[in-house]
A = this chain, B = another copy of it.
């Protein structure tokens, strides 16, 4: 099955305790599509860039079965840019700069050929833009997943709730789940959020793993304990891309398969943080992914 994703394709300046990297290729749709293409193709991207984005990255994406007919290129304009600094614990970060540039008036256009794609991943963007993508689909996708952030809960809650009501799966972090639901317990938060529409909720907890709530079932996926987290940028999008790529490839929406998807997503995220930006995703082999999934299985295995 194919996957369609909308999200940013952008540049990041990243500062971590281990170093600093400027104008690193990033963006939600970049990470999502690269991670998903590990499992499935084609992966269609709908996004917008300026004329400053490196052709080399676009070529890499194409070689991995990522199609870019939905990628608008604005001549004479600049791509979206974010600069951030991670704290020592790598779990919190300060945003130093956000330049919307081409994103300021982004109007997503889903190419004709993509409008029946069965799997749709809406990366973090203005809820109104996410909604416009759903509305352009000719056939209702088998699965629509959505990522968002606290910024939209603060500034556009009504339209966020509207688009949440239109999707099947929400993928957010623990802090966002607590803010969206007003509940501290993640069990209560999940119940609240599932009542907003999505039958499936994934709560990402960074180094503490992820919780999958599907109908009345709960599954917990650990994070791999790592000696070093080099750069957490894109880990959440890589996770989402891995989950959706795995689901699009296997095309099975049972709880058992959703669990596997979350483990594959966690494995992809654990690779992402090993190097700056998308570097680690460039060279990842299927064997490496399978070996890492095996480590996840070993990590939590016990017999009573």
- Which stretch (A117-125, A165-173, A225-233, A235-243) binds chain B? A225-233
List residues of chain B with CB within 8 A of the CB of A303. Answer: 256, 260
**Are the C-beta atoms of B205 and A208 separated by less than 8 Å?**
yes
Tell me the A224-266 residues at the B interface (CB within 8 Å). Answer: 225-229, 256, 259-260, 263
- Which stretch (A76-84, A151-159, A179-187) binds chain B? A179-187
Tell me the A207-227 residues at the B interface (CB within 8 Å). Answer: 208-209, 211, 218-222, 225-227
**Are the C-beta atoms of B302 and A185 separated by less than 8 Å?**
no
**Are the C-beta atoms of A222 and B225 separated by less than 8 Å?**
no
Q: In this assembly, does A293 line the interface, its C-beta being within 8 Å of a C-beta of chain B?
A: yes
Q: In this assembly, does A89 line the interface, its C-beta being within 8 Å of a C-beta of chain B?
A: yes
**Are the C-beta atoms of A220 and B222 separated by less than 8 Å?**
yes
Q: Could you tell me the distance in whole angstroms from the C-beta of A40 to the nearest C-beta in chain B?
A: 17
Q: In this assembly, does A142 line the interface, its C-beta being within 8 Å of a C-beta of chain B?
A: no
**Are the C-beta atoms of A304 and B297 separated by less than 8 Å?**
yes
Given known pairs A302-B260, A303-B260, A304-B293, the reply for A185 and B220 (CB within 8 Å) is: no
Given known pairs A293-B304, A299-B218, A302-B256, the reply for A89 and B184 (CB within 8 Å) is: yes
Q: Could you tell me the distance in whole angstroms from the C-beta of A8 to the nearest C-beta in chain B?
A: 29
**Are the C-beta atoms of B187 and A211 separated by less than 8 Å?**
no
Q: Which of B88, B187, B211, B222 contacts A227 (CB 8 A)?
A: B187
Given known pairs A222-B220, A222-B222, the reply for A229 and B300 (CB within 8 Å) is: no
List residues of chain B with CB within 8 A of the CB of A256. Answer: 302-303
4 closest A-B pairs by beta carbon, nearest first, are A208-B208, A300-B300, A259-B302, A187-B227
Interface CB pairs A-B, < 8 A, 14: A89-B184, A185-B229, A187-B226, A205-B208, A218-B225, A219-B302, A220-B222, A220-B299, A220-B300, A221-B300, A221-B302, A256-B302, A260-B304, A297-B304
Given contacts A185-B228, A222-B222, list 5 more A-B pairs with CB under 8 A. Answer: A90-B184, A185-B225, A219-B300, A220-B222, A220-B225
